[in-house]
Chains A and B, each alone.
Chain A
Amino acid sequence: MDKIVGIPRSFLYYDHHILWETFLSELRIPYIVSPKTNEQIMRFGQQDSHDEMCLSLKNYLGHVHYLEDKCDYLLVPRVDNYGLYNQTCTNFLALYDIVHNVTNKPILNYNIDYCHGDTEWKGFLKMGLELGKKRAEIKDAYHHAKEKEKEYYDHLIGANYNALNNSKPRILIIAHNYVLYDEMIGLPITNMFQKMGATIIDANLFDQKVALRESRRISSGLYWDTSRKLVGAIPIVEHNIDGIVFLSSFPCGLDSLVNELVMRKIKKPYLNLVVDDISSLTGMETRIESFMDILNVKI
């Protein structure tokens, strides 16, 4: 019987799910992905987390809890940086050790630290070898997965650009992908916007290289990879959007600095939403409505 790998649907899942899923299927390793975040998962997360952790990390731990008795390994990577000016939130540095301390489940882990030579390929090779596969096999699977991932994102990025031609108001949403796509954090909010007739432009879906470069127009010293990619979307589409929404999960360390800085530098109307507890959605609705009113008057 093959061992089953459990993938928590949170954090890096939204960056790498195509890569992971293709890689594992190519190697014929069974895996299970936790379902979309739901009430039960959130409750698990609250139980297992520290009170001051950010909502996304709490949810992540909820997904880990859900998977505990359904798999043999948990896939928990550690990402330190993709280069000196491409660092990550400290939660990603600590993720392996945090999970390791809340569960006894064995962890399938790889480490990314480009500053010290730990590349993604090395990480996947290590993972593949641990799963008992041969080097050549792993290499093929990785390259295939990479290609598939690129195809997938190229398509999404194209669609995101095309959305700029859709009906007004067009709103650029700046939110980490694990906040934006989380069923209990970001999705209810994007749904509200769409119901009110807005076109959503996703700041996550732009050409990464371009976005990284463009981020320098807004902040010269910014060194967080995800924040740079998000911020870099602003100069790219600035002239084609009507408003900007900042969405973060409380109390995100990166956003507390970066979003505050960006808000002071942009000239578009903006709305800052910080999601803390799902039950306060009613309050959000009022704020979203009035923001839409402002945009509609301007158009």
Chain B
Amino acid sequence: MSKYKISFPHMADYYVPVRYLLSHLMEDAEIMVAPPITSKTIELGSKYSPDFLCTPFKYTLGTIIEALECGANVIVQAGGGCRYGYYSELQIEILKELGYDFTYLNLVSCGKTDIKKIYQMAKKLNPHFSVLKACYYGFITIKMVKYMDQIDHIIRENIGFEVKENSFIHLKQEMLEHFSQVKTYRELFSLYHQYKKKFLNLEIKKPKDYFKVGMIGELYTIMEPFANYQLEYELAKFGIAIKRYTNVQYLLFEKKHEIKKLLRQTSDYIKYKMGADASDNIARAKYFCTHHYDGIIHIKSSFCTPEIGAMPVISKVCSDYQVPVLFFSFDANTSEVGIRTRIEAFYDMLEMRREYEKSISRN
């Protein structure tokens, strides 16, 4: 039994592929999924975080503390661009101050992955670490992320119309369980197709003129349901199909190629990459506006600088195309009642607009 207990911060359901990869590469170590994000997580996180930092910092710090409390001694963090990339240094300082003793492995810094450093680290954690195996399981993990994201697209479009309550959520749980047990890529591939069929065959009641709403925003807050107070699901319950492009598959693999195309499509509004996902979101907003979506919802954490810069432009796009847009800014103590009121009013607004449009076309 290895002395290492590896854990990592949570985001949505992506713990499944991460756990899968780590458990195949670090056979000796114990892989521990941090306790699910709850209100205690964010309470812990905000207690030890500087005040006006963006909320993803607080959430990740919270889950790391919870994982360390459960006995983890190695933390793997993904890192990334914008402020995400620099989280780790401050988090390490804060955790040291709190008296935790652990190894911190940051995979991406400055948008670059230091392969050599990671290899040395992996060798230390697992002396039998094999690059060949890492490539193979890495490939399966990437595919797993892709399949999960594709299933999520189907879920978002249909969950609002499900006939049997929670049927989509239960089926997804089942799928994730099967995914985490696959041994080969072929197995994963056939499982994906099986489940895709199952999802498409779930009973739904979709009216002809259902509402379509596009979701854009800052990556962590939009992807982690707890951080946005399950906004997507709450909205879907009104009978709305939801489209969201931001997911791990997009951020890691597609963004590089797509961004130029997106910038070209929005050249009437912006000229440059505006940092993090700001330009992507502006381009998506324009896409939704020109593709008959009924409304757009923009989600971000408080103090998210790139999105704040994008918001005036998004407002302009939406007012040019006369598509309603609703902005949400979440922090650790957003009132749930207020969110609810806003979603309800948003739905009422969509309905009123449609009635008005109908009355115009009748006359």
Binding site for B on A (CB under 8 A): 50, 52-54, 78, 80, 84-85, 87, 89-91, 93-94, 96-98, 100-102, 109, 111, 219-224, 250-251, 253, 256-258, 260-261, 264-265, 274
Q: Please name all residues of chain B whose beta carbon is closer than 8 Å to the beta carbon of A256 when the two chains form the complex.
A: 50-53, 303
Q: Type the 1/0 row for B271-282, where 1 means its CB is closer than 8 Å to any CB of A.
A: 111111010000
The 9 closest A-B pairs by CB, nearest first: A90-B275, A94-B274, A94-B309, A251-B52, A93-B275, A253-B305, A90-B306, A97-B270, A260-B50
- Provide the bound-state CA to CA distance between A87 and B110, in Å: 9
- Provide the bound-state CA to CA distance between A111 and B270, in Å: 14
- Provide the bound-state CA to CA distance between A99 and B28, in Å: 55
- Provide the bound-state CA to CA distance between A219 and B303, in Å: 23
Counting CB contacts under 8 A, is B89 at the interface? yes
Who on chain A is nearest to B282 by CB?
Answer: A97
Q: Please name all residues of chain B whose beta carbon is closer than 8 Å to the beta carbon of A264 when the two chains form the complex.
A: 93-94, 97
Who on chain B is nearest to A101 by CB?
Answer: B313
- Provide the bound-state CA to CA distance between A227 and B109, in Å: 16
- With contacts A93-B274, A97-B270 known, is A257 near B87, CB below 8 A? yes
Q: Please name all residues of chain A whose beta carbon is closer than 8 Å to the beta carbon of B93 when the two chains form the complex.
A: 261, 264-265
- Provide the bound-state CA to CA distance between A221 and B77, in Å: 14
Q: Contact at A222–B52, with CB atoms within 8 Å?
A: no
> B230 to nearest A CB, angstroms?
23
Q: Please name all residues of chain B whose beta carbon is closer than 8 Å to the beta carbon of A78 when the two chains form the complex.
A: 272
> B255 to nearest A CB, angstroms?
15
- Provide the bound-state CA to CA distance between A274 and B51, in Å: 11
Q: Contact at B311–A50, with CB atoms within 8 Å?
A: yes
Q: Contact at B308–A84, with CB atoms within 8 Å?
A: no
Total count of chain B residues near the partner, CB < 8 A: 43
Binding site for A on B (CB under 8 A): 50-54, 57, 82-83, 85-90, 93-94, 97, 106, 109-112, 269-276, 278, 302-303, 305-306, 308-313, 316, 329
- Provide the bound-state CA to CA distance between A185 and B305, in Å: 20
Q: Contact at B85–A223, with CB atoms within 8 Å?
A: yes
> B9 to nearest A CB, angstroms?
17
Who on chain B is nearest to A251 by CB?
Answer: B52
Q: Please name all residues of chain A whose beta carbon is closer than 8 Å to the beta carbon of B275 when the two chains form the complex.
A: 90-91, 93-94
Q: Please name all residues of chain B whose beta carbon is closer than 8 Å to the beta carbon of A54 when the two chains form the complex.
A: 305
Q: Contact at A98–B309, with CB atoms within 8 Å?
A: yes
Residue pairs across A and B with Cβ atoms less than 8 A apart, 26 shown, are A52-B303, A52-B308, A78-B272, A84-B111, A90-B274, A90-B278, A90-B305, A94-B310, A97-B269, A97-B271, A97-B272, A97-B309, A98-B274, A98-B313, A100-B271, A101-B269, A101-B270, A101-B313, A102-B312, A220-B89, A223-B110, A251-B303, A256-B50, A258-B86, A260-B50, A260-B53
Who on chain B is nearest to A107 by CB?
Answer: B271
Q: Contact at A84–B112, with CB atoms within 8 Å?
A: yes
Q: Contact at B272–A93, with CB atoms within 8 Å?
A: yes
Q: Please name all residues of chain A whose beta carbon is closer than 8 Å to the beta carbon of B90 when the two chains form the complex.
A: 257, 260-261
Q: Contact at B86–A101, with CB atoms within 8 Å?
A: no
Q: Contact at A222–B86, with CB atoms within 8 Å?
A: yes
Q: Contact at A50–B271, with CB atoms within 8 Å?
A: no
- Provide the bound-state CA to CA distance between A85 and B114, in Å: 14
> A198 to nearest B CB, angstroms?
26
> B53 to nearest A CB, angstroms?
5
Q: Please name all residues of chain B whose beta carbon is closer than 8 Å to the beta carbon of A102 when the two chains form the complex.
A: 312
- Provide the bound-state CA to CA distance between A50 and B309, in Å: 8
Q: Contact at B309–A257, with CB atoms within 8 Å?
A: no
Q: Contact at B109–A101, with CB atoms within 8 Å?
A: no
- Provide the bound-state CA to CA distance between A223 and B84, in Å: 12
Q: Which of A87, A222, A256 has the most CB of B within 10 A?
A: A256
Q: Please name all residues of chain B whose beta carbon is closer than 8 Å to the beta carbon of A90 when the two chains form the complex.
A: 82, 274-276, 278, 305-306, 309
- Provide the bound-state CA to CA distance between A274 and B53, in Å: 13
Q: Contact at A257–B86, with CB atoms within 8 Å?
A: yes
Q: Please name all residues of chain A whose beta carbon is closer than 8 Å to the beta carbon of B273 when the two chains form the complex.
A: 80, 93
Who on chain B is nearest to A258 by CB?
Answer: B86
- Provide the bound-state CA to CA distance between A264 and B97, in Å: 9
- Provide the bound-state CA to CA distance between A12 and B218, in Å: 27
Q: Contact at B303–A253, with CB atoms within 8 Å?
A: yes
Who on chain A is nearest to B93 by CB?
Answer: A264
- Provide the bound-state CA to CA distance between A97 and B274, in Å: 7
Q: Please name all residues of chain A whose beta carbon is closer than 8 Å to the beta carbon of B57 when the two chains form the complex.
A: 257
- Provide the bound-state CA to CA distance between A220 and B106, in Å: 13
Q: Contact at B274–A222, with CB atoms within 8 Å?
A: no
Q: Contact at B82–A257, with CB atoms within 8 Å?
A: no
> A8 to nearest B CB, angstroms?
16
- With contacts A221-B88, A264-B93 known, is A94 near B306, CB below 8 A? yes
Q: Which of A80, A219, A224, A257 has the most CB of B within 10 A?
A: A257
Q: Please name all residues of chain A whose beta carbon is closer than 8 Å to the beta carbon of B276 when the two chains form the complex.
A: 90
Q: Please name all residues of chain A whose beta carbon is closer than 8 Å to the beta carbon of B50 when the two chains form the complex.
A: 256-257, 260
8 additional contacts (CB under 8 A) given A93-B274, A101-B270, A256-B53: A50-B312, A90-B276, A91-B309, A97-B272, A97-B309, A222-B86, A251-B52, A257-B87
- Provide the bound-state CA to CA distance between A222 and B111, in Å: 13
Q: Contact at B271–A250, with CB atoms within 8 Å?
A: no
- Provide the bound-state CA to CA distance between A94 and B90, in Å: 26
- Provide the bound-state CA to CA distance between A274 and B50, in Å: 12
> B296 to nearest A CB, angstroms?
17
Q: Please name all residues of chain B whose beta carbon is closer than 8 Å to the beta carbon of A222 when the two chains form the complex.
A: 86, 89
Q: Which of B87, B109, B274 has the most CB of A within 10 A?
A: B274
> B333 to nearest A CB, angstroms?
16
